[in-house]
Amino acid sequence: MADNKKPDVTIWHNARCGKSREALALLQGRGVAVTVREYLKEPPSRAEVEGLLDALGGAPADLVRTNEAEFAKAGKKAAALSKKDVAALIAAHPILLQRPVVVCGKKAAIGRPPEKVLKILPGA
């Protein structure tokens, strides 16, 4: 018998962010059961951030909100950020996490624009 279990979908969410709210509404509007991770209330560990980076692929700096004051205080250049740098920065300052991030299975997407998250859903 085939396993018809739907994959787990998690959104790393900031309710104050319009793009994050849009992505959540988009997923819910399509009937996707979503686990909401409010990362500012439940900050990620370094290992969790590294897992997000693996699922996203691409440049580690893509996951960092470089326009935040905490990033300027860190004195880093975005282009020079390694996976470990990003994990340490976001674990210490969760506000630096680019949002929203949607994870489905072993894939992830940053929802900027929100429709980008649809590409990682099954059947997309």
Contact predicate 12/52, CB 8 Å: yes
Note if 17 is an active site residue: yes
Nearest-Å Rg of the Cα atoms of the chain is 15
Q: List the 107-110 sheet strands across, edge first.
A: 34-38, 9-13, 101-104, 107-110
- From the list 17, 26, 88, 95, the catalytic residue is 17
Would you state the structure tokens that stand for residue 1, as one six-digit string?
A: 């018998």
Structure-token pair, residue 26: 């988009």
Which of these, 111, 110, 93, lies nearest to 59 by C-alpha position? 110
Q: Which residues are catalytic?
A: 17
